[in-house]
Structure 1
Amino acid sequence: MVAEQTNQLTGIAIAGAKAKAYWELLKFRLSFLVAFSCAFGFTLASAHVNWFTLTMVFIGGFLLSGSSVIVNQIIEKDIDKLMTRTMSRPLPTERVSINEAIMVSALCFISGVGLLFMYTNPLTVALSVVSMLLYSFVYTPLKRVGPIAVFVGAIPGALPPLLGWTAATGAISHEALIIFGIQFIWQFPHFWAIAWVADEDYKKAGFKLLPSSGEKDLNTAIQIMIYTMCLIPLGMLPATFGITGVNSAIVATICGVLFFAQTFSLMKSGDRKAALKIMFGSFLYLPIVQIAYLLDKV
């Protein structure tokens, strides 16, 4: 009896550990942010929000993001072992096997595409598949080639709000391109701040993501500053084109100026702490601005 109870507890512990490993494999926070951006685009484009369809878009976006990041981890399994920030992931630690990861990724992909196919339209499905392919099979290997990877990665990184818009409207309009453009430009200071902070780890893996000479120098800091500065006028475009009102334009401008101001510290000191502030600033900028747009939707 005692042996049976012990075996049951052991089985529960093993199942719990496996479920936790699968959860980590999905990169919940990243996939949630992708799903949120999809929901943002859908809601912004909808005159009257269909909450059921919105939920399906959110879940579909989450599953497709999960599938993409799992493929990324499968391809980079051996590389992840070299970096401190990634060596404890499920695949390098062998808490999840390659076959298990492939199975979970395939299940997420089929489920995500299936939901979008049933509840949105062919354009959204096609764009979601393109996004997944670009991120998993183009951006991922390019990370060891050069900073062109950041440009390529910024495309699938900026597609979620556009996917949400097309899910609601069935078309790529100038409004859709505006919200795509804001998130596209945002990707550059976001990516490069992370690459600056994780530079030592990235060099171990052979990643070449920083612009210019690939070094943490003034040229890189200037490029981060330029792209961040571009967010200030871009943030006003939704109000200019009547997607949102003036209040969100004010919020976006304030956030853009504060984000931009952080880049001067990096130019002056060039230290990791300054890059870390920009990285966290990028994490705050996008959701705050997107929520402001939603609250101020015309």
Structure 2
Amino acid sequence: MSFTTHTTKAIPFTLSRLKDYAALAKLRLSTLVVFSAAMGYFIAASQFDWVQFLALVSGGFLVTGASNAINQILERDYDKLMQRTANRPLPAGRMNVAEALFVAVLMGVGGVTILFWLLNPLSGWLGLWALVIYVALYTPLKRITPFAVLVGAIPGAIPPMLGYVAVTGEFGLIPGLLFLVQFFWQFPHFWAIAWKLDDDYKKAGFKLLPTKAGKSKSGAFIILVYSIFLIPVGWLPVMFHISGYIGGVIALLMGIMMVMKAIKLYNSCDEKAATRLMFASFVYLPIVLIGYVIDKL
């Protein structure tokens, strides 16, 4: 009887802890990062290697999870102030800093080691650079300047480049162009989220919209300009024969979709239009990357 009672109590505790670890690593965001890296891998690979692919997926996931975990450690006091983040493990008091740091270091060291030794040294360095830039530069800059988004876009654009380098072991034009596509995508993506969550971000002092004026016509115009950039940038893989016209047309149509949503935001400057742009950005990246891969097959 006592054994049954003890087991029943232990199971929910274990499941709850796993959920907290998933929240600490930002499971959904880390999964999207791994998806981008996988698309870069498929663009580069002439034949599929399970060991190589699993090393990329596991190493990339662990490095991203470590970045997110350290970010939450550093911002735990600010997270308490925002409704969106108040229930995260650290601000909610379900996990202490020592435990979170142990998990973060374990993921970071494990991820970089996997990328370095099971793939190649350049992959390991890319993973390490992404982690350092995200934690040491982007995280503190969020409360200082809107240029934090520019800095954050650098590690955010590494995944497809990492996927390509995982296969080739060297940098070049093609991984650089894949980096560029994801780099420019991040601006309308992050700014749309920042527009929607601006009131919550202000409670923590985060400055993530493109201008100090906040939700303004000038800010919406900058978002529109960067959305327009997606059209020529999305066509670059076609120009340099990374992808064919099918992938190019898909990227073109997705770019036009982003521009149309950004125009509506510019005209209305309201949260509803920002939300639609945000969801459009969620669709844009996976569809465009899948288009590039399909055209290569």
TM-score interval (norm. to shorter): over 0.9
Corresponding residue of 2:256? 257
Q: What is the CA–CA distance in structure 1 between the aligned matches of 2:147 and 2:202, rounded to whole Å?
A: 16
1:135 aligns to what?
Answer: 134
Contact 2:116–2:122 (Cα < 8 Å) also in 1: no
Aligned to 1:68: 67
Structure 2 match to 1:151: 150
Contact 2:71/2:135 (CA < 8 Å) preserved in 1? yes
Give the paired residue count.
Answer: 297
Alignment of 1:42-81 (within 5 A): 42-81=41-80
Distance 1:122 1:39 in 2: 18
- Cα distance per residue 1:220-256 (max 9 Å; x no partner): 1111001011111111111111111111101110111
CA offsets 1:36-55 (integer angstroms, 9 cap, x no match): 11111121112223232012
Partner of 1:203: 202
The structure 1 segments of at least 4 consecutive aligned residues displaced by more than 3 Å after TM superposition are none
The match for 2:87 is 88
The answer to whether the 8 Å contact 2:114/2:124 transfers is no
Q: CA deviation at 1:92?
A: 0.8
Task: List gaps (5 residues or longer) in structure 2.
Answer: none
What residue number does 2:245 align with? Answer: 246
1:183-237 per-residue CA deviation (whole Å, 9 max, x = no partner) reads 1011111111111000000100000111122410111111100101111111111
Q: CA deviation at 1:271?
A: 0.5
CA distance in 2, matches of 1:14, 1:128: 33
TM norm structure 1: 0.97
Amino acid at match of 1:280: F
Give TM-score scaled by structure 2 length.
0.97
Q: Is the 8 A contact 1:22 1:96 kept in 2?
A: no
Structure 1 gap ranges (5+): none
The alignment partner of 2:290 has SS state of helix
CA offsets 1:57-84 (integer angstroms, 9 cap, x no match): 0111011000000000000001000001
Residue 292 of structure 2 corresponds to 293
**Residues 244 and 296, structure 2, Cα contact 8 Å, conserved in 1:** yes
What's the CA shift for 1:18?
Answer: 1.3
1:98-145 alpha-carbon deviations (Å, 9 max, x no partner):
111111111111211121122211111111101100001110010000
Determine the C-alpha separation between the residues in 2 that align with 1:10 and 1:184: 46
Greater CA drift, 61-70 or 208-217? 208-217
Aligned to 1:17: 16
Cα shift at 1:12: 2.0
Q: Does 1:168 align with 2:167?
A: yes
151-160 or 212-221, which deviates more: 212-221
Give the structure 1 partner of residue 221 of structure 2: 222
CA distance in 1, matches of 2:70, 2:229: 32
Asked if the contact 1:121–1:167 (Cα under 8 Å) also holds between the matched residues in 2, the reply is yes
**CA distance in 2: counterparts of 1:182 and 1:126, whole angstroms:** 21
Q: What's the CA shift for 1:8? A: 2.4
